[in-house]
Amino acid sequence: MTESTSLLIRGAAIEGGETADILVEDGRIAEVGTGLSRAGARIIDAAGLIALPGLVDLHTHLREPGYEASETILTGTRAAAAGGFTAVFAMPNTSPVADVAGVVEQELALGEAAGYATVQPIGAVTVGQKGERLAELGAMADSRARVRVFSDDGFCVWDPLIMRRALEYVKAFDGVVAQHAQDPRLTEGAQMNEGVVSAELGLAGWPAVAEESIIARDVLLAEHVGSRLHVCHLSTAGSVDIIRWAKKRGIDVTAEVTPHHLLLTDELVRGYDARFKVNPPLRREEDVLAVREGLADGTIDIVATDHAPHPAESKSCEWAAAANGMVGLESALRVVHEAMVVTGLIGWQDVARVLSKAPARIGRLAGHGTPIAAGEPAEIALYDPRPSAPFGAADLRGRSANSPYLGRELPGRVMWTIHRGSLTLADGELVEREGA
């Protein structure tokens, strides 16, 4: 990776609007205007490209420490850079679990050493993600990692008393509890969305109410204690209705939707291709349309990838034995383009909001999600909306290949990614860092 130097981006459409030149120096945006010049600067011809604030993913599984066969912090952040991301929040379901200060500080240091994106650790809510007693939330918050988001993702904090205590505890440092909304009793043995397709296939169904009942409980708990709640990977029409009601009531709740829940439906399960097995499961077309509407009207705050890499053997097996999860960092912006922009539901300023500004705000991550303006940190993605091509294995830059989009036509391409003033992706190719 090249050291930070002067970059002159010429003729980019800032958040899809007016075109301008952007001068980057010493890790910051020095100037935005027309006809800019700087002796010795590297010139980037951005004619036809959209300049977005560097994307921020509030929900990434980097697998390190413990599951490096699936992903590492280095390979995961390379995938992030290829997708236009300059910051990712690392989920705690590692081994050991990120439930103490030492583990989150290790993740932070590994992210700094990799250099492709800011890695902000998420701390577990409970010890070992077992749901029995609170983890060291205060110690993680006070650590060098300054953890502000806590989640047992992969596991629901099912005990209402523990959830209440967590919501109360994080108020002390303006933290947020990010809940994996899944009632464990209602989803025992479930393999896909409960509905017509599951009935026809004879697969145990995963009812929408298993998600919706937890969200309903938790927004009321958040209101009761006056704390911040974030709902992970919301996937049903009923969940959108509950979040909409809670926001109208003034409850401090935010929610995310994944790219795959914006585009894919449970009809894809008919082929028993385990690339389409995910938690929460792919839902009905009606749910897809409802979450799109919820994202467009602001009920759902952000798009988060839930990037979940797995080795080939965890997906190349029978459906029942396959692991849940999909990789998504490299494809996220293209899928949002397809599902939300091509359909006319949102514009590029909204894309900047849901994929950069709002996730940075929810996660209290300084230096990201900022406007493309003079004096701001140089965290920028340049996206070409014009091409359309099948998403292929060559588009994947991480360690795992469990993408649901392989062979699917998607619009656009991320061309350049700038992190802390340095190029991590240049003309569609990763910039190699010494030792990487």
Q: Coil, strand or helix: which one is 42?
A: strand
Given a cut of 70, is residue 107 above it in pLDDT? yes
Which pLDDT value is given to residue 1? 45
Return the active site residues.
Answer: 306
pLDDT band at 2 (very low <50, low <70, confident <90, very high): very low
Write the pLDDT tens digit of every residue in 283-304: 999 999 999 999 999 999 999 9
- Tell the residue number behind the tokens 């999600």, with chain if given: 369
Write the pLDDT tens digit of every residue in 138-184: 999 999 999 999 999 999 999 999 999 999 999 999 999 999 999 99
Write the pLDDT tens digit of every residue in 28-54: 999 999 999 999 999 999 999 999 999
Write the pLDDT tens digit of every residue in 206-230: 999 999 999 999 999 999 999 999 9
**What CA–CA distance (Å, rounded) separates 33 from 22?**
7
What is the average pLDDT value for the chain, to the nearest integer? 97
**What CA–CA distance (Å, rounded) separates 340 from 291?**
11
Query: How many C-beta neighbours within 10 Å does residue 100 have?
Result: 17
CB 236 within 8 A of CB 246: no
Which pLDDT value is given to residue 434? 67
Instruction: Please give the average per-residue pLDDT across 62-76, as a whole number.
Output: 97
Instruction: Residue 436: name the closest of 387, 378, 397, 405 by CA.
Output: 397
Write the pLDDT tens digit of every residue in 355-395: 999 999 999 999 999 999 999 999 999 999 999 999 999 99
